Amino acid sequence: MRLIAPCHFGLEAVLKREIIDLGYEIDQVSDGRVTFLGDAQAICYGNIFLRTAERVLLEVGSFHAETFEDLFQGTRSLPWETFIPKDGKFWVTKAASVKSKLFSPSDIQSIMKKAMVERLKSHYGIEWFSETGEEFPVRVFLKNDEVTVALDTTGVSLHKRGYRKLTAKAPIAENLAAALIMLTPWKKDRILVDPFCGSGTIPIEAAMMAANIAPGLDRSFTAENWKHIIPSKFWYDCVEDANDRIDRTLSAEFLDIQGYDLDPEMVRIARENAKLAGVDQYIHFQTRDVAKLSHPKKYGFIITNPPYGERLEEKQALPKLYQTIGERYKNLDSWSMFLITSYENAEHDLGRKADKNRKIYNGMMKTYFLQYNGPKPPRREKDANEKSAN
């Protein structure tokens, strides 16, 4: 099967690495999407284990279409009966078009639904579909008049892990937070501080990585009910594997993950979310102003999503805020800082040009992931001895 994993624009390389680490072959990488090859079990593993994907789509087929007649005939030619049973509920939930002659989402959705009905009518020999059975949402992408049609195996987006019942005003998506952490050299034996933690997403995602907790372990997926495509045993085996991989020996004393926020209510919410994620014992949340950011140890990491200034009064406060961030970072000996923002003058006000400035699209918003690399810590004596012995 060809499986498609959409992601934030600019994070394709991170998702590609995740898929390879799961043991699957990459077929194609394009803007905001990674296509890979896998069997039915790969649908389970993709949904339960991928931290940076938006969803996992099962490709039904692709074709060229410049007119609505092309779209109708191309859709009708696809083997829908392989996937959708007689009582299945099916609809085109989303249509996206880029640089194509067909661009009206509602028209694309309507015509494709009619074509699917025509195909299934001839196959099942019926004129009317009850659509009382399991759901089969369809997603379609048009780019340069090439149409890619896929079934959505996920349902609710993968960024919704299930632990974030309460959020901040402008929360960072869980899969984006995970990707930002994965773009840094942070490992669980290093300090991590988020001085603008909000509802706690970055520290929680870091703690879940440290404990090797699969992000989709405590939620459900649309394809769980597609028993003719994915046997229930595949889901049970995948969940069992995910549970077996959790590091239950990890001690709270070993990890140093901290989240600060100026708002005591946000700190309370962050603690509650961490508890729901099963990682509250690994994170220290506290009410603290970024102006008081300090740490006695060296070689730590700041990974954060500070305010961007969405409203006018917030915009006016940004220069001072970013100057303060820059000053506090300067006083942290040997630390690294990784900061996502849409604020254009961030580097100027931080007082230092970033070692790397990566563009990432957070929805339609262009953001910059500013990377300030501190020195690597000296090798531990034990590691050095092991290396020399080898």
CATH number of the domain bearing residue 7: 3.30.2130.30
99 occurs within a structural domain: yes
Lowest mean pLDDT among 103-117, 168-182, 267-281: 168-182
Q: pLDDT above 90 covers what percent of the chain?
A: 91
pLDDT value of position 388: 46
H or E element that contains 136: strand 135-143
Cβ proximity of 318 and 349 under 8 Å:
yes
When divided into structural domains, the chain yields a total of: 2
280 in a structural domain: yes
Confidence of residue 354 (pLDDT cuts 50, 70, 90): very high
Provide the 3-class DSSP secondary structure of residue 6.
strand
| Arithmetic mean of pLDDT, 337-343 | 95
* Residue 195 shares a structural domain with residue 104: no
Confidence of residue 170 (pLDDT cuts 50, 70, 90): low
- Looking at the structure, tell me whether residues 232 and 371 fall in a common domain: yes
Query: Does the structure show a pLDDT above 70 at 184?
Result: yes
Burial of 329 (0-12, 13-18, 19+ CB in 10 A): buried
CATH number at residue 377: 3.40.50.150
What confidence score (pLDDT) does residue 384 get? 46
Do residues 134 and 197 both lie within one domain? no
* Pair (135, 40) in one structural domain: yes
Phi-psi region for residue 256, left (φ > 0), alpha (ψ -120 to 50) or beta?
beta
pLDDT tens figures, 37-65:
999 999 999 999 999 999 999 999 999 99
Residues 204, 67, single domain; the answer is no
Q: Once rounded to an integer, what is the mean pLDDT over residues 94-98?
A: 96
- pLDDT tens figures, 282-317: 999 999 999 999 999 999 999 999 988 766 557 789
Q: What is the pLDDT of residue 318?
A: 94
Which pLDDT value is given to residue 316? 87
pLDDT at residue 137 in the model: 98
Mean pLDDT of the chain: 94
pLDDT score recorded for residue 308: 81
**Same domain for 67 and 7:** yes
pLDDT band at 385 (very low <50, low <70, confident <90, very high): very low
Cβ atoms of 56 and 100 within 8 Å: the answer is: no
Same domain, 133 and 194: no
Percentage, residues of the chain above pLDDT 70: 95
CA distance 42 to 337: 35
pLDDT tens-digit series, residues 188-226: 999 999 999 999 999 999 999 999 999 999 999 999 999
Helix (H) / strand (E) element for 174: namely helix 174-182
Q: Is the pLDDT of residue 386 over 60?
A: no
What pLDDT, on a 0 to 100 scale, did the predictor assign at position 364?
A: 82
Report yes or no on 163 lying in a domain: no
One domain, residues 189 and 330: yes
d(CA 21, CA 37): 13
Is 161 within a domain? no
Burial of 169 (0-12, 13-18, 19+ CB in 10 A): exposed
Is residue 28 situated within a structural domain?
yes
Residues 196 and 119 grouped into a single domain:
no
Q: Which domain holds residue 300?
A: 174-213+226-382
The pLDDT of residue 165 is 79
Instruction: Tell me if 389 is assigned to some domain.
Output: no
Q: Check residue 314 and give its pLDDT.
A: 73
Mean pLDDT in residue range 116-130 = 96
Residue 111 has pLDDT above 60, yes or no: yes
Any idea which residue has 């949340």 for tokens?
285
Judgement on whether residues 65 and 194 belong to the same structural domain of the protein = no
Residue owning tokens 């953001």: 367
Q: Are residues 112 and 51 in the same domain?
A: yes
Q: According to the model, what pLDDT value does residue 313 have?
A: 59
Asked if residue 183 and residue 148 are part of one domain, the reply reads no
In a domain, 218, yes or no: no
pLDDT at 382 over 60: no
